[in-house]
Amino acid sequence: MIVTIGNLYYYPLKLYVFIASYLYFRKLRIVGRKNIPVKGPLIYAINHQNALLDALLLSVVSRRNPHFLTRADVFKNRFADKFLRGLKMLPIYRIRDGFDSVKMNEAIFDAAKDILVKGGVVGIFPEGSHSLKYMMRPLKKGVARIAFRAEEAVDFNLDLKIVPVGIQYESHFYPRGRTLISFGKPVRVSDYLEAFHQNQSAGIEQLLDELYKRMKSLILHFTDTPEYANNLEIFRKKRAYKRDLQKQLSVDQELVCSIESGYTYNERSDKKNLLCLTLENSWQFLWKIIGFLPKSLVDYLLKRTTKDPHFFATMKFGYSIFLYPLTILFLYFLIKHLVF
């Protein structure tokens, strides 16, 4: 019943959020779509820096319709539970949710397995939690456990693939930053079945090690040390601007390596086209005037409803993509009524 009702709003919302995403971010680019198998069971393994916004973006830019394993605490409200399940999200429990709750993950893992066995897609954030730091954190075993469980269900003939995904935000908080979503080359679970049969723990670790390397290559990664904040500040001061987001990620990764390793690295920024810069500045000035009222409403709601900084971007995105169009429509009809 929930699935049937969910389909009524899932696909219209997916289209709407897809369009809104390109308007919300200053630039949104997706690369590596050719690495996504057009059919067959598939797991997206995604880095996790921006709460529910990560899942929303992956849902709308993917040609397929993934079910996401999402932190269980956002399902506590009865209405939210039904709504999120309609959006193809399933609750995954953490130790902080209580040991009794964690036991329910077995049922969720089985549900994910069933989706994969039927040729569906599951989205997983294998780091196990989100963080605003620019880094790849160690992967939890859940993604490998689900993968091998799905293979085992069909006598290891599923041919399951795991596509590493990197979401790179220039800004975790502000909409005018640029965002790059990269789909890496898929990992074939079948390549690790022999190791898994010989020693399950070793097979799981080998799969996770390869997946970690591929995910890490798709994002900006600082080493998790006490110098992180200082290194990030140095990075921001030295960073060169590149128009192409793939090139931007490449030079950013090289700059991080130079900062942490101590070698010299200099890269020149691309020159900005004067006409494009003038048009962009003019549009931003005009948008500040047009968007003053909806921006004020969004800022007010964020201040009243959002305390966790990890959810700031998610809520800002959600409020903005609905309040901006509604407010502008309201002003249009108000002015039209007053003038005519």
- Residue 191 shares a structural domain with residue 82: yes
How far, rounded to the nearest angstrom, does the alpha carbon of residue 108 sit from its chain's CA centroid?
21
Structural domain boundaries enclosing 155: 2-216
- Residue 107 shares a structural domain with residue 141: yes
- Residue 298 shares a structural domain with residue 195: no
- Residue 147 shares a structural domain with residue 13: yes
pLDDT truncated to tens, each residue of the chain (340 aa)? 445 555 678 888 899 999 999 989 989 999 999 999 999 999 999 999 988 899 999 999 988 899 999 887 778 778 888 888 888 888 887 766 666 666 778 888 999 999 999 999 999 999 988 899 999 999 999 999 999 999 999 999 999 999 999 999 999 888 778 999 999 999 999 999 999 999 999 999 999 999 999 999 999 999 999 999 999 999 999 999 999 999 999 999 999 999 999 888 888 998 877 777 777 777 777 778 878 888 899 999 999 999 888 889 999 999 999 998 988 888 778 787 776 6
Residue 230 has a pLDDT of 96
- Residue 53 shares a structural domain with residue 200: yes
Residue 95 has a pLDDT of 64
- Residue 110 shares a structural domain with residue 252: no
Q: Which residues contact 140 (CB under 8 A, 6 or more apart)?
A: 126, 127, 128
> What is the value of pTM for the model shown?
0.90
- Residue 157 shares a structural domain with residue 54: yes
- Residue 54 shares a structural domain with residue 34: yes
- Residue 135 shares a structural domain with residue 228: no
- Residue 300 shares a structural domain with residue 196: no
Residue 1 has a pLDDT of 47
Distance CA 196, CA 205 (A): 9
Average pLDDT over all residues of the chain: 89
End-of-domain residue from the set 233, 253, 270? 270
Residue 101 has a pLDDT of 66
How many domains does the structure of the chain reveal? 3
Residue 340 has a pLDDT of 60
**Residue 41's closest CA among 214, 203, 160?**
160
- Residue 166 shares a structural domain with residue 227: no
- Residue 79 shares a structural domain with residue 197: yes
Is residue 337 situated within a structural domain? no
DSSP secondary structure string for all residues of 292-336? HHHHHHHHHHHHHH---GGGHHHHHHHHHHHHHHHHHHHHHHHHH
Is residue 208 situated within a structural domain? yes
Is residue 97 situated within a structural domain? yes
Tokens representing 167 are 């979401």
DSSP secondary structure code for residue 150 in this structure: H
DSSP secondary structure code for residue 171 in this structure: -
Q: What is the CATH number of the domain that holds 29?
A: 3.40.1130
